[in-house]
């Protein structure tokens, strides 16, 4: 009897082992079949079952890791993150070929789980096809009407700068302060003026919530089915998004109550008018859900890059006081202290303009352009990239391209000046990406940056607190932002 039990137990034990072995082989085989590389696909680091190349990439310094891979695999290489194959594009010539010359094949955004959960394919940034074209065309024309990138917006920017200085910076009296939130508030209020028709006090609770919006999580996007059920930062991001969503809807509700089609005060008013005009039309992409996402996208594209660049600017001016002094001398000579800066001054401030461009290049605020997806098979860099492959344009590789810049790894404003000291445009200067999907807020960001930076240099000298050296480390997120710091702004 004991021998029968022993044999039966041994059989069960081997049966369980066989089942586990079969399951493991099945999972690995299914993973291989699902994720195997197509023919003529770009090379890349060796992938691991299930997780792909997640172990190869430090997601706190993604842009640096991807740029390092160029030396090993070339300007066009592949990665697999989770179950998703992607191709990373590097260097100015490759990005120009892909995003400009073959831009029609790379107009669409890929499916990104966390983004899809909140945007549902709506808005300006992550929509595709007819929805994207309609929303982008409308946003450009409407914002242009309200002064987007025009001289008529200058007084609004200058008034916000005056509010910042009189209510905060002058009160600091040269003492250390953290510029993070105050600069975000200042820049974002310009977007509030365009979108909501009014500014907010920096202490306004609803405004503070709006400033905290963010929704980026690489792990969630790699394993969406699992991560939707787990706690973590991605769930916090969704909670913040829901709060921001409520705030925007409340603004829309107030606009509806006071809406006058003959007196359109801002972007929301114009959008509500568009909803009414297009009601019942076929292919109409204008509704309140799209409006909410468009408002959010305008804040991300119109304020995040500018506020982050200005925070880098303060650090670089503190680190290179001789450059700061030269900028201030040029501003004193051209503008003086008796009037405010204007975009018309730009042509007469070549060194200031060069420094601002070098801050954008070296600060590398958008290290990776938002992903695209191929809508057909394309040839790039001698490789075949099939339809449906996610594309990552590595802007870092362009802004630090040794074939395009004299001193790519050194902060050097002279790269934007000729021998006569005049400002020179550089083709490889694409901090806002390039092609049809380039950053919507580029023209506004350029105006923001020039007027704010010139105004700061006109009225203040930036330095680190006593005994503190500038730390140029960063936080990798929606933008490449400097880690929070304190700085001194001394009135001139």
The DSSP-derived string for 423-473 is B---TT--TT--STTS-TTHHHHHHHHHHHHHHHHHHEEEEPPTT------
Pair 186, 228 in one domain: yes
Average pLDDT over residues 437-466: 93
Pair 133, 220 in one domain: yes
Pair 482, 360 in one domain: yes
Pair 221, 113 in one domain: yes
pLDDT level of residue 186 (50, 70, 90 thresholds)? very high
Query: Is the torsion defined by CA of 450, 202, 303, 192 positive or negative?
Result: negative
Which tokens hold the place of 361? 């290049």
Query: What Å distances lie between residue 359 and 65, 162, 323, 353, 488, CA to CA?
Result: 22, 23, 12, 10, 19
Round to the nearest angstrom and report the end-to-end CA distance of the chain: 99
Which tokens hold the place of 176? 């250390």
pLDDT at 310 over 90: yes
pTM of the predicted model as reported, rounded to 2 decimal places: 0.87
> What digits encode the pLDDT tens for the residues 234-281?
565 666 677 778 889 999 999 999 988 888 999 999 999 999 998 877
Domain span holding position 2: 1-36
- How far apart are the C-alpha atoms of 51 and 41, rounded to whole Å? 19
Pair 328, 400 in one domain: yes
DSSP conformation class of 177: B
CB 486 within 8 A of CB 178: yes
Average pLDDT, the chain: 87
Pair 18, 161 in one domain: no
Q: What's the structural domain count of the chain?
A: 2
pLDDT level of residue 227 (50, 70, 90 thresholds)? very low
Pair 248, 123 in one domain: yes
Torsion angle of the four alpha carbons 131, 136, 138, 141, in this order, in degrees rounded to the nearest 10: -170
- How far apart are the C-alpha atoms of 471 and 465, rounded to whole Å? 12
Query: What Å distances lie between residue 357 and 61, 395, 423, 429, CA to CA?
Result: 23, 15, 10, 8
Pair 43, 185 in one domain: yes
Pair 13, 98 in one domain: no
Pair 57, 22 in one domain: no
* Model pLDDT, residue 434: 94
Domain CATH for 467:
1.10.630.10
Pair 96, 7 in one domain: no
- How far apart are the C-alpha atoms of 285 and 117, rounded to whole Å? 19
State the maximum Cα–Cα separation within the chain, in Å, rounded to a whole number: 106
Higher-confidence position of 17 and 409? 409
CB 431 within 8 A of CB 361: yes
**Binding site: which residues?**
439
Range with top average pLDDT, 1-10, 42-51, 421-430: 421-430
Phi-psi label, residue 57: left if phi above 0, alpha if psi -120 to 50, beta otherwise: beta
* Model pLDDT, residue 21: 58
pLDDT level of residue 28 (50, 70, 90 thresholds)? very low
Higher-confidence position of 320 and 442? 320
Average pLDDT over residues 53-66: 90
- How far apart are the C-alpha atoms of 83 and 48, rounded to whole Å? 11
- How far apart are the C-alpha atoms of 341 and 303, rounded to whole Å? 20
* Model pLDDT, residue 451: 97
* Model pLDDT, residue 150: 66
Which tokens hold the place of 70? 């160029």
Average pLDDT over residues 408-416: 98
Pair 177, 306 in one domain: yes
**Binding site for heme: which residues?**
439
pLDDT level of residue 36 (50, 70, 90 thresholds)? low
Average pLDDT over residues 473-481: 85
């Amino acid at each position: 009897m004991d021998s029968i039990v022993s044999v039966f137990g041994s059989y069960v034990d081997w049966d369980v082992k066989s089942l586990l072995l079969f399951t493991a082989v099945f999972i690995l085989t299914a993973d291989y079949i699902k994720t195997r590389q197509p023919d003529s696909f770009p090379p890349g680091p060796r992938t691991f079952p299930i997780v792909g190349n997640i172990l190869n990439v430090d997601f706190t310094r993604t842009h640096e890791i991807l740029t390092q891979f160029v030396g090993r695999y070339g300007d066009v290489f592949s990665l697999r993150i989770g179950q998703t194959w992607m191709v990373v594009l590097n260097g100015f010539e490759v990005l120009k070929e892909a995003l400009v010359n073959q831009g029609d094949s790379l107009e669409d955004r890929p499916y990104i789980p966390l983004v899809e959960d909140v945007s549902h394919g709506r808005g300006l940034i992550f929509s595709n096809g007819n929805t994207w074209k309609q929303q982008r065309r409308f946003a450009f024309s409407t914002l242009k009407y309200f002064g987007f990138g025009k001289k008529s917006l200058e007084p609004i920017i200058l008034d916000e700068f005056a509010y910042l200085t009189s209510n905060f910076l002058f009160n600091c009296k040269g003492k250390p302060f953290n510029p993070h939130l105050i600069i975000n508030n200042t820049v974002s209020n310009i977007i509030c003026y365009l979108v909501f028709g009014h500014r907010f006090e920096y202490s306004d609770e609803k405004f503070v919530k709006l400033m905290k919006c963010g929704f980026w999580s690489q792990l969630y996007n790699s394993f969406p089915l699992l991560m939707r059920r787990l706690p973590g930062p991605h769930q916090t991001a969704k909670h913040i998004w829901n709060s921001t969503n409520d705030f925007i809807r409340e603004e829309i509700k107030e606009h509806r109550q006071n809406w006058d089609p003959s007196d359109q005060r801002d972007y929301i008013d114009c959008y509500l008018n568009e909803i009414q005009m297009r009601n019942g039309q076929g292919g109409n992409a204008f509704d309140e859900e799209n409006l909410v996402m468009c408002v959010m996208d305008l804040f991300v594209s119109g304020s995040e890059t500018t506020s982050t660049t200005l925070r880098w600017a303060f650090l670089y001016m503190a680190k290179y006081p001789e450059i700061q002094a030269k900028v201030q001398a040029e501003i004193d000579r051209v503008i003086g202290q008796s009037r405010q800066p204007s975009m018309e001054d730009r042509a007469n401030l070549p060194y200031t303009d060069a420094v601002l461009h070098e801050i954008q290049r070296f600060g590398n605020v958008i290290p990776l352009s938002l992903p695209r997806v191929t809508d057909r098979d394309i040839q790039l860099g001698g490789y075949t990239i099939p339809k449906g492959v996610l594309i990552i344009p590595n802007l870092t590789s362009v802004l630090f391209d040794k074939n395009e810049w004299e001193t790519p790894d050194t902060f050097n404003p002279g790269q934007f000046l000729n021998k006569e000291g005049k400002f020179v445009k550089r083709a490889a200067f694409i901090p806002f990406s390039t092609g049809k999907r380039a950053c919507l807020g580029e023209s506004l960001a350029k105006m923001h940056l020039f007027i704010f930076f010139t105004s700061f240099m006109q009225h203040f000298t930036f330095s680190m607190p006593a005994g503190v050296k500038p730390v140029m480390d960063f936080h990798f997120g929606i933008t490449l932002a400097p880690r929070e710091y304190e700085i001194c702004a001394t009135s001139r």
